[in-house]
Amino acid sequence: MLLVNTKEMFKKAYEGGYAIGAFNINNMEIIHGIVAACKELNSPVILQVSGSARKYAHHGYLLHMVQAAAEETGLPIALHLDHGANFELCKDCIDGGFTSVMIDGSHLPYEENIEVTRKVVEYAHARGVTVEGELGQLAGVEDEVSVEADKANYTDPDQVQDFVTRTGVDSLAIAIGTSHGAFKFKPGQKPQLRFDILQEVMDRLPGFPIVLHGASSVMPEYVSIVNENGGQMANAIGIPEDMLRKAASMAVCKINVDSDLRLALTAGVRRHLAENPTHFDPRQYLADGRDCITAVVKHKIQNVLGSADKA
């Protein structure tokens, strides 16, 4: 199967009250681990590449591995640019075979965000590529840009209709209390999402797909392994799964997960090497990391996304 854009995926997800997992990829083992889970559960999936992941792994390598995954599995797979920083990066990815891009102008003044987003939409739509925009800023670190928690701001529901109409985006990322990275809430703070804002956005944009970034749950079984070496991981708090499930049953059609995959891969490798300190064949320890990724993605599809058997 050829790579698909997100149009049909999101339409079905909205109508079915579930969400598509958007998982960040950086190398072959991560791609293998994700698609093995999706194949087993017959789930559509978005594989997304950040600007820094693209620098790390190189565009062509990622493109061809994702195309191979779509051919091998026959699943609907979209290849998406995550947090596109400017028009040129989006254009490079569109010209280079990506089927979906995010233009992230959320840090810009409102009118500038509209301007760059509309420019990307024009270029993308002429080539069958779907576009995600963002309004409101999440806390945390993404692509080397750090936003402190007190500087993050929730999406203003009064802006969403104007933004979507004037830009023509196909989906919209909003800020309702999620954040990037493993440390989403301060120690002792009760995790909370602003479902009132999500509901207001839905009221203003009926049937329109919403995206949640920063949606890792920071799964304790992997945190505990990663933390064995010391460090701050024990203080990491993610988004509770019941909240993500609720969001998926509302307008949220795309749920972004990166940190949970990083934790799982690292936990698998670390456990393998701790148990087998003499091993030095990368296939042995990376296979364990890959299996942990498959377990995480299966868990998400079954307990959070609800996308099993929707391929």
Point out the residues that are catalytic. Answer: 82
- Residues β-bridged to residue 139: 179
For position 290 contacting Zn ion by CB under 5 A, the verdict is: no
136-165: contacts with ligand G3H (CB under 6 A):
142-143
Q: 267 in the Ramachandran plot: left (φ > 0), alpha (ψ -120 to 50) or beta?
A: alpha
Nearby residues of 289 by Cβ (< 8 Å), 6 or more positions away: 29, 33, 264, 265, 266, 267, 268, 269, 272
Q: Which stretch binds ligand 13P (CB under 6 A): 9-17, 64-72, 222-230, 254-262?
A: 254-262
The minimum distance between CB 146 and ligand G3H, in angstroms, equals 11
Nearer to Zn ion (CB atom), residue 25 or residue 269:
25
The residue behind tokens 């990037």 is: 180
Nearer to ligand 13P (CB atom), residue 63 or residue 139:
139
Please state, in angstroms and rounded to a whole number, the distance separating the CA atoms of residues 79 and 275. Answer: 36
Nearer to ligand 13P (CB atom), residue 151 or residue 283:
151
Q: Which stretch binds ligand 13P (CB under 6 A): 13-21, 229-237, 250-258, 264-272?
A: 250-258
Q: Which stretch binds ligand 13P (CB under 6 A): 59-67, 88-96, 202-210, 251-259?
A: 251-259
For position 260 contacting ligand G3H by CB under 6 A, the verdict is: no
Nearby residues of 121 by Cβ (< 8 Å), 6 or more positions away: 131, 167, 168, 169
Pairing of strands 210-212, 252-257: parallel
HEC profile of 27-59: CHHHHHHHHHHHHHHCCCEEEEEEHHHHHHHCH
Q: Which of 197, 256, 299 is nearest to 19 (CA)?
A: 256
Selection from Zn ion, ligand G3H, ligand 13P, none that 257 binds (CB < 5 to 8 A by kind) is: ligand 13P
CB neighbours (10 Å) of residue 89?
18
Q: Which of 29, 104, 134, 258 touches ligand G3H (CB under 6 A)?
A: 258
Q: How far is CA 309 from the centre of its chain?
A: 20
Strands (E) across the chain are located at 20-24, 45-50, 77-84, 100-103, 130-135, 140-142, 145-147, 171-174, 210-212, 252-257
Selection from ligand G3H, Zn ion, ligand 13P, none that 215 binds (CB < 5 to 8 A by kind) is: ligand 13P
The residue behind tokens 């804002």 is: 197
Structure-block tokens of residue 286: 């990376």
Nearer to ligand G3H (CB atom), residue 14 or residue 183:
183
The minimum distance between CB 51 and ligand G3H, in angstroms, equals 7
Please give the span between the terminal C-alpha atoms of the chain, in angstroms, as a whole number. Answer: 12
For position 134 contacting ligand G3H by CB under 6 A, the verdict is: no
The minimum distance between CB 187 and ligand 13P, in angstroms, equals 18
201-240: contacts with ligand 13P (CB under 6 A):
213-216
Selection from ligand 13P, Zn ion, ligand G3H, none that 143 binds (CB < 5 to 8 A by kind) is: ligand G3H
Please state, in angstroms and rounded to a whole number, the distance separating the CA atoms of residues 110 and 41. Answer: 41
Q: Which of 118, 213, 262, 271 touches Zn ion (CB under 5 A)?
A: 213
Nearer to ligand G3H (CB atom), residue 142 or residue 170:
142
For position 24 contacting ligand 13P by CB under 6 A, the verdict is: yes
Binding site for ligand G3H (CB under 6 A): 24, 50, 52-53, 82-83, 142-143, 180, 258
Binding site for ligand 13P (CB under 6 A): 24, 82-83, 180-181, 213-216, 256-260
